[in-house]
Structure formats: C-alpha cells, structure tokens
Structure 1
C-alpha cells in the first residue's frame, strides 16, 4: 500500500544503505527549481536519511521509532539531479536525544571528477516514548491574524482541476499559482491557497496547502512528517512578490513562451524545529505563516510557522537565502523537461 504522501514522493526520498554509515539517494528531476533540486526536497531526503540510519545501524535505539526533532543544514554548493552519496557521523548517541552529522556529496553532471560536499549539517533525533516532561501553553498568537483560521471550503467535483479552481463564495482564500512553475518544477506538487491579491503583503504571507505529487505514482495525498519538511521551503507568492518588484516576467529561451524568473533564491541555511509528529494517516491541510523581515544586499531571512487545522504548531523554520540571477542556477546545466 502506498504511504499517505504517495508512492511518487516515497520513491523521490528513498535512501539506500551502502554500509553502516554510508547511504545513497537519487535526487529526482521532478522536484527541482531550474536545474537544481529544491532545498526543501533535499531536506526531506536528509530527514529520511536520519530515520533510515537509526533503523539500519542503531535499530534498538530510541525504541526502534526514531524521529528527527531538529535539523540545521548548510547548503554549500548547488546540488544536481542524480545520484548522491550520504555520509553519517554519530556525533552523540544518547538515551533521550542523539545527534548525527550528515553530508550530501556529488560530482558535477557529466564530469569525471571527485565528488564535493554539497550539503552538511546536524540532525537531532528522539522518539515518542522518550519525549516526556513539562508541557505548557502560552498566550502567543499569530499577528497580524490570518484571514481565517480554517482552510478553504473546496467545491469537490469529478475533475481535480475544477475542484481546486473553485472555493465557497464566502471563503477568504483563493487558489494561488506560480507564474514561473515551468522553472520551479517543485511547485507543481502543491495546491496552495492564499488571500486575494489585493490583501497580500510583501513581507507577511499566509497559505493553506494540500499535497498533490505529480507523476505516474502521484495523485491526491496527505501531509506526513516526511513531506512536511518540504513545505517549510514552499512559499511561491513571497518569491513572486520579489520577482515583480525587481523585473517583469521573462520569456524562456526555448521559444515556447515558458517564463523564467529574473532571480533564483538558493538556500544558504535552513533550520527546522519539529514540534509535533503528524499522525500516521497524515493531514489533509497544513497552514503556513511566512515572514520576510528584510532583504539586504541580496540576502533574505525567512521565518515559517506551520500549523495543523487545529491551530497547533507542527514545525518552525528559519532560513537564510540569496537573491541571484536565475542564470546562476542553469549555468552549465541542462534544465529538466517541462513535461516532468
């Protein structure tokens, strides 16, 4: 039986053991921005690496049910589509928490050279049995408040496309589309709703998201903890706002009218704090509040607060990114087909 996030996504994040501390993965062309695998997708692969490592090499630790509770990653160089080697170093093996150092390395496409480190960082792991202690609520709340604390009311029809192009007439949410989805392939796997354009802000964004992986093994899906990692790095309307502020849409060089954005926003660091593990059957909707505090000298800071339909925080993320020409993404590389 396919997992709630579909077999398509499961295949895309599969990690295969080579030895006790060495693993391999294949970064899929379906989950890219331009020619580069998406940062959140790469994080999802590394999230799966942590789980695979403990189940493979330390099967009795963390009651046989390891769960990452924090990830701190540095993206050193562009990754590429294809095989990646994943190396794990056990930094600390503890009773309640364990921490591993992970490295994703690759060579350049079509070049016979020694692989270089592309992504490095630390992942801290615990388990539901060991996660005990004080729990206390606070008076914290989202400010400014979102248009609604409920996801859109979808008019379900036989057609998936029409079901997601219409909402209840009283809904404060509208379907959002990325004008550069031909470049940002990863965006095709999500159905996103946000406030109407006239109510959007450039520095504060709200979105409700459903998961819908595209491909022969994809289809309607539910968010799992594995796929939730991906969503911490998905906020197309925020990027589109920056694109529009800097330059108009560009027509791609393929002669078919596909649009290429003026900028690429590569991730430099991405830290994720997991507050709750999603249920085994997954969640249909997840809400994200995205905050962009400043863009300074081509460097961004982005904070993401992710909640379930019950208003519970499930993950917090903080990211440092760059604003560079889109040509930096594609230089010397072949773009995945727009039909992927």
Structure 2
C-alpha cells in the first residue's frame, strides 16, 4: 500500500477527527470512528491528502515503523478538503460596501449553515467596511435559512465615531435577505476586567470531558471539538435536567478562538431545552453577541442557560464563554423556538 521515492513518500495514516467513544451512554451507540487518510509527505511535511475514508479501527498508541506510521494528529484545517475558519469566512469586495462569499457546507448542521458561522461571516464584512478590528457587539435577526453556496454581504456604515463605528449589514441570497444585523465595531486592549460580578462557574477539567465529545459526522462539528461536562449529558440518556449546559470548545484547525470565531462559540453548545424534554431543531430568531475581552490561547469553556420556556415554544438562551485564564471573553442572549413547537405548524 505504500511506495518510496527519493523526495516523496506516500503513506497511509489514521487520525482521530471528532472521535466519538463507543462507551458514551445514551449517545447514538456510535462505535469508535476514525478517519483513514492517505497522505503524501515531503520529509515530515504533509503536502496533500488524496483519500479519506471512515474506519472502525481504534487509533493505536505508539508509532509505526517505516512508511506505515501515525503522524501527529491531522486536524480539519490541515486536510485540504476542509477549510479553516479563516478560509470559510473569507469575503471579497465587489463594489462599494458590498462583498461576496460562499457559505461552506462543512460549517453546517445537517443541511443548514450554522447561525453563528453565518453571523461571523457577515460580521467580517462589516468590520472590513468599518475598518476596525473587533466586533464589540452584534445583533442579528435570522429571517430565513439560506443554502450552502454563494451569498452577497451588503454593508452600510451608519455612524463613524472616535471609539466605534456602527454598521448595518445584510446577508443576501437569491435576492432575499436572510440575516439582518447591526454591528458595533471598535478595538479592545488586552487587559483584565476592572470589575466582574462573578467568577467563572465550575466545570470539569478538559481531560475529564474526553468521553463526552459530541458525535461528529462531518459538518460543523468536524471543525470544532466540543466536549460536554458530564453533568450536562442527562439529555443524551433521555433524562431531564436543569436548563443549563457546560462544555469545552476548541477549533480543530489548530488556531485559537478570536473575537470573530467567538461568535460561533456562543451559539455552539446543544440547546438547553433538550434537558427539559424537548427535541428537534431549535432555530434562532434573534441573537445578540458581546465581546468582553480578547481571548487567551487555548480551549474556551462555554456555559448556556435558559431562564424561561413558553408553552408556545419560545425560549431564551444566555451564553457565557471563558478563556484559558478564566476570563469572561464573550456573552450572548438569543431568542429561539423549540423544535417541539415547530411540529405540526
């Protein structure tokens, strides 16, 4: 299965990407799944990936001798058929205030592009128009769900001030507005908070959440490694719990979260109402994001909670994200609809 030449060798290697343990109680009873990747190397440098298949073989510890070896973990951003967050949020100016981009189906949940990802993409266009680096606040209304593919991002600066710029931004596909947002753009210094009402809530250490990774079958969760706190997995066993979810998040492209990708993080954990007996897709209707500090390198910890669930299916979800220093770096509040309420409508 392998051959050698003077400058390049082809080798088959296995890498665990979005690994789902077999013993995850209440999950989909998914066996250990790894990706079997046929790669080309120049020395120890990965140059291309020519074949990707699924394997039920668990990844073995240790190194293999000769060309049949296991290199360092191959992450999503290193596999050329999968785009990193920066690549998936690239925008290209077409005329004054208007940008084009492509919604990547690898950043979707099922067939629907992820709301936080689309919001981040639209925000990147707004920051470009504002000529400022950080999204201090973003308020987005989700009017309809677009398909993966080409979109147009229309921006209009509302006010340019000394400390911040306000931009109206719309994501358009097929002539229809899908997301309507207002972005407050500015710049934060990397300094600790002068005052915080509360410290980071408790969460199990990252290594104690290894057995509670969200199942990955491509799409968004192939790009972000999500590990739930064991106390937040009752809904996976069909049990009810408090309307709160805790978990760790880490980008699989090897980069750290930044003020833009944190918009994805606040909308990433499973809906809190799954622990209240509700099921199905829970579409976001409106989401407001606030950047509270610049994140430090490393994984981030997320906490979401629901304060009230109306019989008609409307519920709020508040999210708080802390970096590896335990500093609050982002928070949000969204209004969403329960999947149960959508049935029969």
Compute the TM-score of the two structures, normalised by the length of structure 2.
0.67
- Say whether the 8 Å CA contact 2:213–2:228 is kept in structure 1: no
Question: Greater shift after overlay, 120-129 or 226-235?
Answer: 120-129
Which residue number in structure 2 is paired with residue 302 of structure 1? 317
SS in 2 for 1:294: coil
SS in 1 for 2:84: helix
- Say whether the 8 Å CA contact 1:5–1:224 is kept in structure 2: no
Deviations 1:250-272 (A, max 9, x none): xxxxxxxxxxxx51111100100
Change in CA separation of 1:324 and 1:307 when aligned onto 2, cut-off 3 Å? same
Instruction: Considering Cα pairs closer than 8 Å and 6+ residues apart, tell me whether 1 or 2 has the greater RCO.
Output: 1
- Say whether the 8 Å CA contact 2:143–2:180 is kept in structure 1: yes
Deviations 1:153-192 (A, max 9, x none): xxxxxxxxxxxxxx4xxx4x3432435x54x832232222
Q: 1:312 offset after TM fit, Å? A: 0.9
SS in 1 for 2:220: helix
Which residue number in structure 2 is paired with residue 111 of structure 1? none
Q: 1:30 offset after TM fit, Å? A: 0.7
Which residue number in structure 1 is paired with residue 260 of structure 2? 226
Deviations 1:62-117 (A, max 9, x none): xxx5321000000011121111111111111111111010011112xxxxxxx111
Which residue number in structure 2 is paired with residue 54 of structure 1? 130
Change in CA separation of 1:116 and 1:286 when aligned onto 2, cut-off 3 Å? same
SS in 2 for 1:84: strand
Which residue number in structure 2 is paired with residue 175 of structure 1? 211
- Is the aligned partner of 1:192 residue 2:226? yes
Change in CA separation of 1:24 and 1:83 when aligned onto 2, cut-off 3 Å? same
Unaligned runs of 5+ in 2: 1-74, 78-82, 235-240
Distance (whole Å) between structure 2 residues aligned to residue 68 and residue 147 of structure 1: 27
Deviations 1:195-241 (A, max 9, x none): 325875441121111111xxxxxx43322222221111001274653
Kindly name which structure, 1 or 2, has the bigger radius of gyration based on alpha carbons: 2
- Say whether the 8 Å CA contact 1:176–1:237 is kept in structure 2: no
Which residue number in structure 1 is paired with residue 244 of structure 2? 204
Which residue number in structure 2 is paired with residue 92 of structure 1? 159
- Is the aligned partner of 1:284 residue 2:298? yes
For residue 24 of structure 1, the aligned residue among 100, 111, 114 is 100
Q: 1:292 offset after TM fit, Å? A: 1.4
Q: 1:34 offset after TM fit, Å? A: 2.2
Question: Greater shift after overlay, 220-229 or 318-327?
Answer: 318-327
SS in 2 for 1:236: coil
SS in 1 for 2:126: helix
Compute the TM-score of the two structures, normalised by the length of structure 1.
0.67
- Is the aligned partner of 1:42 residue 2:118? yes
